[in-house]
Amino acid sequence: MNATQTITLTINGKVCEGRAGQTILEVATANDIYIPTLCWMKDRSPWGGCRMCIVEVAGSPKVVPACATPAVAGSQITTNSPRLHNLRRMTLELLFSERNHICPICPMNKGDCGLQHQAYLHGVDSIRFPYLYPALPMDVSGRYFGLDHNRCILCTRCVRTCDEIEGVHTLDIANRGERNLIVVDMHATFGTSETCTSCGACVAACPTGALFDKAQTYRGKLHTCTVVKTTCPECPVGCGLAVYTRENRIVEVFGDPESPLCAGHLCRKGRYETWAEPRRRITQPMLRHNGELKPVSWDEALAHIRRVRDATPVWESVLLASPRLTNEAGQAIHRVADKLDRVGVWLAPNEGALVEAPEPLADVRRQLTEADAFILLGVQPSRDHGLIASYVRRGVRQRQARLIILNCRRSDLDRYADIAVREVSLERAFWAQVAEVLRDVQRPVLLYGTEAMTPIGVAVLERLLAVFEQKASGEAPALIGLPIGTNSIGLVAAGLEAVEDVGSWLDAKPVRYLHLVLGDDHTLGERWFEEKYRALMLETLDLLVVQASYESPLTAHAHVVLPACTWAEKTGTVTNFEGRTLPLKPVIPVRGQARDDAAIVEAVYA
Ligand code: SF4
Ligand code: SF4
Ligand code: SF4
Ligand code: FES
């Protein structure tokens, strides 16, 4: 059977076209015919467990699940007879009677619950079966989400999502019959799980209130929210976000299904760290007076900076930026660079060579989804590029792709690897082993990071490429470089100096004026305050200006603090690891007196 072959069948008397290999549900959906579903989910394997999608096929006495039954050319399907309605209604009543679905105290009540929605559609106003009312536990040990077994309908959407999308298979079903229970690592909790990455994809997949986000609970109904699509600010992969907001605050963050690389999936950072972490926001300019930071107006803060600068004209004045800033902020900094002695962007060690004029990458999604081998060199996707780690896990677990990990720190990916070596030996025997693992590989992908830019990393890369040159068949590896900073590529392209060793950079000449443009970087504020910088900041600087969205030990010691917008309030662009320019759009109004980073830089050096 050819999957591109067109087939014709009749659904509810309408002649419908589909492709060979599609299910009845897929053909019906493509022809605008609605069939109720609960356990089915796009891009997951069909399970056929809930029986809400049952349909009648002419000539067959049995009803069949449309989500798991192939469409047959010439068949006649009925999706909405009284018999089907009654069977579906009975299914719903059984689901409601099995556990404690007390809707008024569920965060999904009134509009967000797939089960309740079907109950409304099928007129379930009473239950004919006795309620079992088991006393099932809740697992609220996870940082971002919880699981209330009482609301679980055992649809396995979470199990299949965890297995097939995040690629870890943390979840499964234990026991039999009415004792069925979703389990985490067989006998762990979310808080103690050694495999769960906290990506939250299972929560996004759950049709009921069983899996729920703690931060979202009772913030607002999703169907009453405004949805804005923007770009994840947490790493250079640049996944698309669909941000749900209500009454000027974020209610929930999902992956954008139309985003080419993530296709709706996010890692923990994108889904939760963007908004669900408690952080203390800076909403107005502050000036140090008699040793204490006091709120002032923008005019006062800017005038103070100018006054001190004018009083000390022969300074070594320096501006250092976070790699999270937008391209537009980078360009603004570049435009005022002649008013300062040096301007730079703080990169990770060895990141400069990775981000200086990289070749744009094409076809990355296809390469990642078709690879039959992944070689990781000096890169840490589980920590730094969560979405890429999910592609690697999927490849290994679903396509039996080979996995070789060289010069990377320990991570969950080690457990899937054919070879995982912390420090690579250049000995012949080791490379013979590598060649053996890669012998039959046809479509390899080589993911490399900052540690591949060291002399030993380059030597390993050369050996690897030599292994591929000597192979009898197969493509050369697709080379995919993964920087660390969200917009390191864009900011270096905007003309900012790549600074990998901040200590040496600052020590090169005694700095008296330091302007740190942190934006909404919530980690640099802490990292900056390491001991070696602390002495500089507190003892030798005449003026420390910190431009930031969040309080940190650094802002606490600044002479002037300027409030910056967060990613959720900004307009601008970032350049991701493929070289694509991606938009940041404001999803909530600017808080207090915060301003965009580019506008602040322009005002300070006007
Ligand atoms: S959060 Fe992600 S890794 Fe953890 S159980 Fe859910 S889908 Fe699996
Ligand atoms: S927790 Fe949610 S997604 Fe998982 S089986 Fe239960 S109802 Fe389905
Ligand atoms: S992989 Fe990167 S861009 Fe994608 S969700 Fe995670 S942190 Fe955000
Ligand atoms: S949606 Fe088809 S059986 Fe559940």
The residue ranges of DSSP E strands in 268-395, in sequence order, are 286-289, 292-295, 317-321, 342-346, 373-377
Please report which ligand is nearest the Cα atom of 275.
3
Buried b (16+ CB within 10 A) or exposed e, 135-148: eeeebeebebbbbb
CA dihedral for 540, 546, 551, 552, sign (positive or negative): negative
Burial of 423 (0-12, 13-18, 19+ CB in 10 A): exposed
- Whether ligand 3 lies within 6 angstroms of the CB of 484 is answered as no
Can you give the pLDDT at residue 531?
62
- Whether ligand 4 lies within 6 angstroms of the CB of 44 is answered as no
Checking if the pLDDT of 3 tops 70, the result is: no
Q: Model confidence over 171-207: pLDDT tens digits?
A: 999 998 888 999 999 889 999 999 999 999 999 999 9
Please, are residues 388 and 160 in contact by the beta-carbon 8 Å criterion?
A: no
Phi, psi of 309 (to 5 degrees): -65, -45
Q: Average of pLDDT values for 60-88?
A: 97
What distance in Å separates the CA atoms of residue 220 and residue 245, rounded to the nearest whole number? Answer: 9
What residue's CA is closest to ligand 4, atom 3? 48
Q: Model confidence over 315-366: pLDDT tens digits?
A: 789 999 999 999 999 999 999 999 999 999 999 999 999 999 889 999 999 9
The model's pTM:
0.95
- All residues at 6 or more sequence positions from 112 whose CB lies less than 8 Å from its CB, including other chains: 221, 222, 223
- Whether ligand 3 lies within 6 angstroms of the CB of 235 is answered as yes
Q: Average of pLDDT values for 70-81?
A: 97
Q: Average of pLDDT values for 386-397?
A: 98
Give 444 Cα–ligand 1 centroid separation in angstroms.
27
Percent of the chain predicted with pLDDT > 90: 83
- Whether ligand 2 lies within 6 angstroms of the CB of 210 is answered as yes
Give 114 Cα–ligand 2 centroid separation in angstroms.
11
Give 73 Cα–ligand 3 centroid separation in angstroms.
42
Can you give the pLDDT at residue 560?
97
The two tokens of residue 394 are: 């999927």
Can you give the pLDDT at residue 536?
67
Atom of ligand 3 nearest to the CA of 271: 5
Q: Model confidence over 499-527: pLDDT tens digits?
A: 998 888 888 888 889 999 999 998 887 77
Atom of ligand 2 nearest to the CA of 173: 5
- Whether ligand 2 lies within 6 angstroms of the CB of 564 is answered as no
Set out the domains of the chain in order of their start, with CATH numbers.
6-80 (3.10.20.740), 106-273 (3.30.70.20), 286-347+487-604 (3.40.50.740), 362-481 (3.40.228.10)
Can you give the pLDDT at residue 576?
98
Can you give the pLDDT at residue 387?
98
Please, are residues 253 and 242 in contact by the beta-carbon 8 Å criterion?
A: yes
3-state SS assignment for residue 132: coil
Can you give the pLDDT at residue 344?
97
Q: Average of pLDDT values for 578-606?
A: 97
